[in-house]
A and B are shown apart, each in its own frame.
Chain A
Amino acid sequence: MKIDWAALGSVFGVSLVVTVALVALFTLGISGLSRRERAAAQGQSAALAVTGAYACFAACAAAVAYGIYLIMA
């Protein structure tokens, strides 16, 4: 019997890193948008936060696109 520990280990590592990174990015994006909401309520603008937020969301969208690519491959 040969258990493929290397494959299992890489599944473990990749899943952990990718999940945490994606969730972190997404949370950053959401925080950025909330900041805009707060800023707008006070009549200010939060251009930097919003740009950052969209960059985060773009990265997440890229990850989803890669996921779809993996499913199709």
Chain B
Amino acid sequence: MESFSLILAIVVVTALAFDFTNGFHDTANAMATTISTGALKPKVAVAMSAVLNLVGAFLSVEVANTISKGLVDEAGIRPEVIFAALVGAILWNLLTWLVGLPSSSSHALMGGLIGATVASAGFGAVHGDVLVTKVLIPAIAAPLVAGLAAMLATRLTYRMGKKANGKAAEKGYRAGQIASAGLVSLAHGTNDAQKTMGIITLALVAGGTLAPDSDPPMWVILSAGIAIALGTYLGGWRIIRTMGKGLTDLQPQQGFAAQTSAATVILASSHLGFSLSTTHSVSGSVMGAGLGRKGGVVRWSTATRMFVAWGLTLPAAALVAALAEWVCGFGSWGTAVVAVFLVSSSAAIWKISRREVVDHTNVNDHDVPGEEPSGVVTQAMAAVSPPPAGAVTEEFATIPAPADTAPPAKTTV
């Protein structure tokens, strides 16, 4: 840890901050269905998820840094570039949390890395084909795979379980949901905490503190694990509400089918070499479970807003990161400006979120779908998403958002 420069320290702290936002952004993936069906009390659910995330961070020694490897040229990457990338990713995570939309933290991080790299080294440094195969195709495939599996599983469990009722069935579905949610938490801890470890290690290598190809040092593993667990425990209640109640109404059978499908898809994809986003898989499986029950409905307006957010994630994070990198380019004071900007806009977003508090006490209150995005949420959403419906559908059809829809995000954050 000798010769630990200031910029390196800033990068490490920012990376841990990203890890933290990642934790609370993705609590919903593991626990939204368990909370909304009442299988676990909200506080118990997030505590369990936090512990499993922490355990997950220590389970695997193989660093899953697909993010730092392959997508951009590693040679010539400087700590400032990583810092700018993290700024973009954190701000996008906070903004989507504010409007309560689940979006992929990994996409935000990749977008940030791409934007910062382009601003520092030009478009040539980004591998466009890797972008398509690792980002775009999975973003479309994950909800389809998970959704279809969850839909069939839901149909089946309702058909087979006609005679399953009473206390035994209730307890059974509860246990099943908890088990599959636990698996998702564990897998999340392993994957996402490792991403932060990869980023910090990359920064340490780039800053010359670590020799190239080193394993992450113990303090990196420990702090990344703790940061993601703390974030998870804090609970992204807004996103949990959208995922558990906003997309559809879940009964225990559906929650079980959805969570099992999500856990299976996540594990299968990461071990068959076609990595799919946890967020996309879980959202897809929740919608699939909604469609699988007779009389079940999926609120497509909420789903559409979520899809738009997915499409915007990468370009928006990239844009913010590119701007941050550009400002950092002015030297130390530029970096300081970006750091101050990051802290103040995070504070502002938190301040706005206090106008309408969502926490463990009201996470399941969601009755009228149309009214759920009240004041704050609609305003903020209006600022992030391209204005009228026409633009939205076009956005939905072509996932790579045109650059001209992204600038509003820049002005708000």
Contact = CB atoms under 8 A, between A and B. Distances in A.
Interface of A: 1-4, 7-8, 10-12, 14-16, 18-20, 22-24, 26-31, 33-38, 60, 64, 67-68, 70-73
Contacts of A3: 132-133, 137
A64 B169 CA distance: 20
Nearest to B189: A71
Interface in B99-149: 128-129, 132-133, 137, 141, 145-146, 148-149
A20 to B, nearest CB: 5
B156 A33 contact: no
B157 A27 contact: yes
B168 A34 contact: yes
Contacts of A36: 168
B160 A27 contact: yes
A29 B257 CA distance: 15
Interface string B269-302: 1111110100000000000000000000000000
Contacts of B274: 4, 7-8, 10-11
B165 interface: yes
Nearest to B130: A1
A11 B141 CA distance: 10
B265 A15 contact: yes
A71 B186 contact: yes
A10 B272 contact: yes
B161 A2 contact: no
A1 B149 contact: no
Contact of A8 (B137, B165, B166): B137
Contacts of A33: 164, 168-169, 172
A11 B276 contact: yes
B270 to A, nearest CB: 8
Given A20-B156, A27-B161, A71-B60, A15 B149 contact: yes
Contact of A31 (B60, B161, B183): B161
Interface of B: 56, 59-60, 128-129, 132-133, 137, 141, 145-146, 148-150, 152-154, 156-157, 160-161, 163-169, 172-173, 176, 179-180, 183, 186-187, 190, 256-257, 260-261, 263-265, 267-274, 276
A45 B132 CA distance: 59
A72 to B, nearest CB: 5
Contacts of B141: 8, 11-12
B149 A72 contact: no
A24 B160 contact: yes
28 contacts: A1-B132, A8-B141, A8-B274, A11-B145, A11-B268, A12-B145, A16-B149, A18-B264, A19-B149, A20-B149, A22-B264, A23-B157, A23-B256, A23-B257, A24-B157, A26-B157, A26-B172, A26-B176, A26-B256, A26-B260, A27-B156, A28-B160, A29-B172, A34-B164, A34-B165, A38-B166, A71-B59, A73-B271
Given A15-B261, A34-B164, 7 more contacts: A2-B129, A15-B145, A15-B268, A19-B257, A23-B256, A30-B169, A72-B60
A73 B163 CA distance: 39
Top 9 A-B pairs, shortest CB-CB distance: A33-B168, A30-B172, A23-B153, A1-B129, A19-B149, A7-B274, A19-B261, A31-B164, A15-B265
A16 B148 contact: yes
B160 A18 contact: no
Contacts of A1: 128-129, 132-133
Nearest to A28: B160
B288 to A, nearest CB: 10
B268 A14 contact: yes
A64 B179 contact: yes
A67 B260 CA distance: 11
A21 B49 CA distance: 25
B168 A70 contact: no
A31 B150 contact: no
Contacts of B156: 20, 23-24, 27
B168 A30 contact: yes
Nearest to A31: B164
